[in-house]
Structure 1
Amino acid sequence: MSRTGQILIEELDLYAYHGHFAEEERLGQRFVMDLVLDCDLRASSFSDNLADTVDYGEVVALVTKTFSARRFKLLEAAARALAEAIFATYPPVSAISITMRKPAPPIPGRMAAVGIKLDFNRED
Structure 2
Amino acid sequence: MAGEEEAAVAWRGDKLILRGLRFHGTHGVKPEEKKLGQKFVVDVDAWMDLAAAGESDDISDTVSYTDIYRIAKSVVEGDSHNLLESVAQSIANLTLLKHPEISAVRVKVEKPHVAVQGVLDGLGVEIFRQRKA
Partner of 1:32 in structure 2?
Answer: 41
Higher strand share: 1
* TM-score under structure 2 length normalisation: 0.87
Structure 1: distance between partners of 2:73 and 2:113: 20
Q: Which amino acid aligns with 1:6?
A: K
The answer for the alignment partner of 1:46 in structure 2 is 55
Instruction: Tell whether the 8 Å contact from 2:18 to 2:44 is kept in structure 1 after alignment.
Output: yes
Q: Report deviation, 1:3.
A: 4.8
Which runs of no fewer than 5 residues in structure 1 stay unpaired?
Answer: none
**CA shift at 1:109, angstroms?**
2.2
Q: Secondary structure at the match of 2:77?
A: helix
- For 2:115 and 2:31, the matched residues in 1 are separated by 11
CA RMSD between the two structures: 1.5
2:113 maps to 104
Identity score, percent: 28
Q: Which runs of 4+ in 1 moved over 4 A?
A: none
**Residue 94 (structure 1) aligned to one of 103, 108, 114:** 103
TM-score norm. by structure 1 comes to 0.93
Matching residue of 1:117: 126
